A and B are shown apart, each in its own frame.
Chain A
């Protein structure tokens, strides 16, 4: 597809959770909890407040269509700030530092005094009804020549458990939001920039990892289309596909508009009550519904059922809008008769509302209030089809298609968080922020300086244990051994279902810095206290609660000093005929036997030394 000709313009917003010790505006830890561990619940209603122009923000108004009750789960790791029952603590300085570091890496300009704002969000994901957010720096550069407009520091929203139930463990985790300019012109370019920014973020070593810790929103428009914001693309590999499908959707909507115009199509603003028509219908939904109403879309026949994106039709869009009123969806004549409805019922419907074959009729079913509300929504969306592509916020579905969430939020939905003092970023403070090496540069250096294979170097640089690796190298541990242990061995052990945290922790229980246990073990290998082969065994012992010291001792003592010599002598004696036959050539095969006996707990060089001595003794005796 020729994206240039279509006039594709795209920008991205990346949201990345930071791995700080405490949350952004309270002193709670930043880790997530299994829902079943929640220790309390409470519920609230949220309402948009009136703004100066007597208007409620249009996104907020959309959410207010129903008075919604939100239930929240609390934990022993959350506090009254998450409950919106206590004023916020000062802005977390650790989070601000990380955010400034990212800004610096992107060549951005910091804001001299950072002000925390309240951004209206009343979908229940914030107990207060707003998200605290602060603009920290502006105007950065991207490798494609485009610009990063802003970087903001904000609080993460609560996680949806189901429906209107939210879990407060995630609320308040620091989040950086990077917004690029609309500077991308192909799906692949969007993907590349997203990957680049992801790499920059990870280079700080201070971001959370794993599913859901990074989310990207993509803004897409094509010529004559409209700006559409697609929320929550979690899988980086899907970004390009999301862009492709949105371009396709906007193109098809424009094509539908053209045909509607040619046909002189129109939307009837007066819905018909057709409840009686379906009182004996084979469709259970229509039969049971207290109210069934019909909207006539004149000249729409065939187009409502036309596919505009994989698995999505214009009808799906009408249905998304209708669902905001609490109905399950819509029926339309492009797909009827079906769902238990007969040909006769469809004909009767057409006759009842006075619609012809060129028209499409949309049915909604629910209680009186729901049905009337849903009709208005269908009329609204159908009229938008006559104009082309509506500006919308959409959410990603599995595979990369999208569904309608709400209108694009208006710009003016922020006011100051007066409970948080502004933070001044002095030039001294900005200068003092260390520039961090990018991970791609790091990978290149690992292979150059430490002789790591290119693939291993990259894997090591992008690994969450990269800091451990650098520390290991500083301690004089062989880089290849360190890399293999930190990548392969730790992965192996965690696959066994063991928790590797005790191995990599760099602080003790009191928060004092320590040399992580895994490095202690590697140091033991360096000093030839334990063999490389014993590393997994020693690490497992540490996870089970032993200290690195005692774990190394216990594998050591199985074959230490005199024991080792005795073992070598026994092995030689038991295989005397073989030894006589091979002479010193028996060393190799006997090494294998010996290593098996000591279960790798002794360094191979030492074993070989002892065995060689025992062999030459035995051969000399002869």
Chain B
């Protein structure tokens, strides 16, 4: 197998037929060839012989001239793809991060702004860590300090909401910080990447002054929704409109293809604060999803953690049999916050006995915070506030729109 390199021209005998193709790779012990018609086929490597090894082709790349009269946006990439390129000779799809590449792939971008790009990471978003959130926050802060009119963060969609929440707490931003990604791969002509990218750039040059996620609002290419970083959640595994604001309406919408941005009242506006970075996080925190009959051993495993968020049932409950273990955790200095698996609605541990027992044990009611946001907030609060009583109180304060004091009708 190792005798062939990607790009080699090879001859292969399949049954009685001889086929010619380009060697692509090996997979499951088979050699994958691309034949002249463009199809890939898997054949036995022993049936192939080398014809020739062509010199590798360098793709022709031209720099795209950016319009100097336009504002500068910074694109910080962590791994989400907003542009990609297909090599039809080998079938390889590569993500594009360079400004020229992005502008060539999405021509409409050049009419909105000038761009500078910063490739921070190239990872799948499920491999994100709190320390990468911190690096990201620092990078974005630098971009803001460096005069960017707005910052776009490209991000894989799986954990985008966590990162958006993390930056919401770590950054004071006078400019839009917009997270964007795509649910359907950027190589497909139907990908949501183009519309999401154009809409996010339009938001980034606009009047918003907070951290937001901009993604498809519906399954159609009609508009993107702008979600607050602390209230957004991925609610579908694959649909374009997976991202939804929970408990509040979206911060606004971007119509497509007009790219007209409409912001709701109550949105933080550009220039309302000075940029600041508070990038400390307490990593020893966890999020526990309660299920009936859950063993107290699971809670005991959190011994030594600084904070635990529980996604409880209904109004914010766990079984009575878990309460001693929770009390033990709290007594040992862990801050325990209760949220609900319902996602929608407010936690209230004053209605039923188990709830009252939880409060007596010292559990903090997480109000209507999303469990994931509560976790990120807990990390941030514990990272920045050494006094545990103050930290407890901060979990009850609305810092970045992560919780509302009133549950509104219709949401």
Contacts and interface: CB of A to CB of B under 8 A. Distances in A.
Interface in B217-238: 218-222, 237-238
A122 interface: yes
Given A138-B17, A415-B91, A150 B188 contact: no
A621 interface: no
A86 B189 contact: no
A135 B189 contact: no
B39 A120 contact: no
Kindly state the interface size class of chain B when it binds its partner: 35 or more
Interface stretch (B29-37, B271-279, B351-359, B379-387): B29-37
A194 B59 CA distance: 43
B148 interface: no
A119 interface: yes
Contact of A83 (B35, B92, B191, B219): B219
B189 A46 contact: yes
Interface in A62-109: 67, 69, 80, 83-87, 109
B42 A114 contact: yes
B189 A51 contact: no
Interface string A111-129: 1111101111010000111
Given A46-B189, A49-B186, A412 B219 contact: no
Contacts of B15: 109-110, 139
Interface stretch (B80-88, B297-305, B318-326, B399-407): B80-88
A414 interface: yes
B219 A85 contact: yes
A451 B104 CA distance: 71
Kindly state the interface size class of chain A when it binds its partner: 35 or more
Contacts of A415: 86-88, 91-93, 187
Given A111-B43, A114-B42, A47 B91 contact: no
Interface in B12-53: 14-17, 19, 27-28, 30, 32, 35-44
A118 B88 CA distance: 11
B184 to A, nearest CB: 6
A390 interface: no
Contacts of A48: 189
A416 B220 contact: no
Contacts of A424: 28, 30, 42
B21 to A, nearest CB: 11
A112 B42 contact: yes
A51 B105 CA distance: 9
Contacts of A84: 184, 188, 190
B62 interface: yes
B59 A52 contact: yes
A152 B84 CA distance: 28
Contact of A120 (B87, B189, B219, B257): B189
A513 interface: no
Contacts of B42: 111-115, 422, 424
Nearest to A111: B41
Contact of B218 (A42, A54, A119): A42
Nearest to B43: A112
B14 to A, nearest CB: 5
A86 B37 CA distance: 28
Contacts of B40: 115, 117, 135, 414, 416
A455 interface: no
B61 interface: yes
Contacts of B195: 45
A411 B28 contact: no
B240 interface: yes
Contact of A50 (B19, B35, B104): B104
A429 interface: no
Contacts of B62: 54
Interface string B235-264: 001111000000000000000010000000
B411 interface: no
A413 interface: yes
A128 B187 CA distance: 10
A269 interface: no
B14 A111 contact: yes
A139 B89 contact: no
Interface string B57-97: 00111100000000000000000000011111111110000
A53 B189 contact: no
A611 B210 CA distance: 99
A188 B221 CA distance: 48
B38 A115 contact: no
A284 interface: no
B329 interface: no
A138 B41 CA distance: 11
B188 A414 contact: no
A423 to B, nearest CB: 9
B188 A50 contact: no
B194 interface: yes
A52 B240 contact: no
A83 to B, nearest CB: 7
A209 interface: no
A513 to B, nearest CB: 35
B16 A113 contact: no
B193 to A, nearest CB: 9
Contacts of B41: 111-115, 135
Contacts of B32: 113, 115, 422
Contacts of A114: 41-42
A134 interface: yes
Given A43-B221, A47-B189, A138-B14, 16 more contacts: A42-B219, A46-B189, A49-B186, A52-B89, A85-B239, A109-B14, A113-B32, A113-B42, A115-B39, A117-B40, A134-B39, A135-B35, A135-B40, A411-B38, A414-B88, A422-B32
Question: Which 5 A-B residue pairings sit nearest by Cβ, starting from the closest?
Answer: A113-B42, A129-B189, A109-B15, A52-B87, A414-B38
Interface of A: 42-54, 57, 60, 67, 69, 80, 83-87, 109-115, 117-120, 122, 127-130, 133-135, 138-139, 150, 152, 411-416, 418, 422, 424
13 contacts: A48-B189, A52-B85, A53-B59, A53-B60, A57-B88, A69-B221, A80-B238, A86-B238, A110-B15, A134-B39, A412-B88, A415-B93, A424-B30
